[in-house]
Amino acid sequence: MLNLSKRTAYNQDHDLFRDQVRKFAEREVVPHLDRWEEEGIVDRDLWRACGAAGLLCPTLPEQYGGLGLDYGYNAVIDEELAYLGATLGLGLQSDITAEYILHYGSEEQKQFWLPKMISGEVITAIAMTEPGAGSDLQGVKATARRDGDEYVINGSKTFISSGQNADLIIVVAKTDADAGAKGVSLILVEATREGFKRGRNLDKIGQRAADTSELFFSDVRVPASNLLGQEGKGFTYLMTQLPQERLSIAISAQAGAQRAFDEAVAYTKDRKAFGRTVFDFQNTRFTLAELATRLQVGWAHLDWALSRHLRGELTAAEASAAKLFHSELNFEVCDKALQLHGGAGYMNEYAIARLWRDARVQRIYGGTSEIMKEIISRDI
């Protein structure tokens, strides 16, 4: 269980909410997690249960059915699920896609989609990455050509989180292929549209419960009213929303690192070698002391970043630095914690194996560590 005694970003209301999240997860997540990992997808029933419990999109305004809470409540959910090793894709909806529709959607779009997202009736995805375009979103090749009162969408996307479950996809496409970043727009595409096809559920190293897919668009026609915001403003919207996405990754990474550390402490204090516990060896204690120090710094930094975000002050460079630091820290802690497990750490029956596998992609998605360094360097 995460220790909250030294946290500074949360208040008593956040703590009470955290108790509800923990009870919900113990009841609705933990009993099914191994099965979801094996099947590579989460039951839609979980989404509806999360909606009923107020755990989807809690920051959305009450006029759309939300709770009107601050982002700290999203962070609580992210931390608790990450500490459990439950990478379910819920944060994608609450932290990312809901924000796009809230900030850039028409009132009609908001009234129609947000209540369904809050209840768990509708699952959303955002289709950015393509086979030939990852962190460089200006390089997307998918097109959305205006044809009268419709857009005709063609292209393919890959590594799309919630791609198998998604009912609604925010598609990043070029409405003007010659305009570079100024030609990128965001289009809402319902999964029921003719010409839309899901590819296979991709076989990932980790985060296996969160379905990830290829998506294909072949002359998919949607009404012009499915444009999200203004045509040609998509790249600006993406750059505006990416800081929260990167903070969300940092939050999950820090909680995952803490869980890996806690697993290592428990295992080394129980496991015996040469007549004493593994913890009693100086190398073990020094390794854990170093990790404990890094985690202490990590939690302090995370609360600083979260507090700045809650005040609307977190910059793109600061969010990128948080994503860089905490994702790299998570893998470092997971790797050293696995090493302290010895051969047991390589066995999937131990929690550390899943934590180690799940941590690796955090240095890639949401912008690679190398891209984070590029963004940070521009601000120096």
* Active site residue ranges: 245
Q: How far apart are CA 138 and CA 40, in angstroms?
A: 31
For residue 178, which amino acid is it? D
Q: How far apart are CA 358 and CA 214, in angstroms?
A: 20
Q: How far apart are CA 14 and CA 226, in angstroms?
A: 36
Cβ-defined contacts of 15-21 (< 8 Å, 24+)? 17/73, 17/76, 18/76, 18/80, 20/53, 20/54, 21/55, 21/76, 21/77, 21/80
For residue 346, what are the CA distances in angstroms to 98, 261, 277, 343? 38, 16, 20, 5
Smallest Cα–Cα separation from 90: which of 78, 101, 75? 78
Encoded tokens for 5: 């005694």
Q: How far apart are CA 324 and CA 97, in angstroms?
A: 22
Beta strands in the chain (DSSP E): 124-127, 143-147, 150-161, 168-174, 184-190, 196-201, 212-223, 227-228, 272-273, 276-277
Q: How far apart are CA 264 and CA 278, in angstroms?
A: 10
219 CA to centre of own chain: 30
Task: Note whether 150 and 196 are within 8 A (CB).
Answer: no
Q: Reduced to 3 states, what is the DSSP secondary structure of residue 227?
A: strand
Eight-class DSSP state of 177: T
Q: How many CB atoms neighbour CB 62 within 10 A?
A: 9
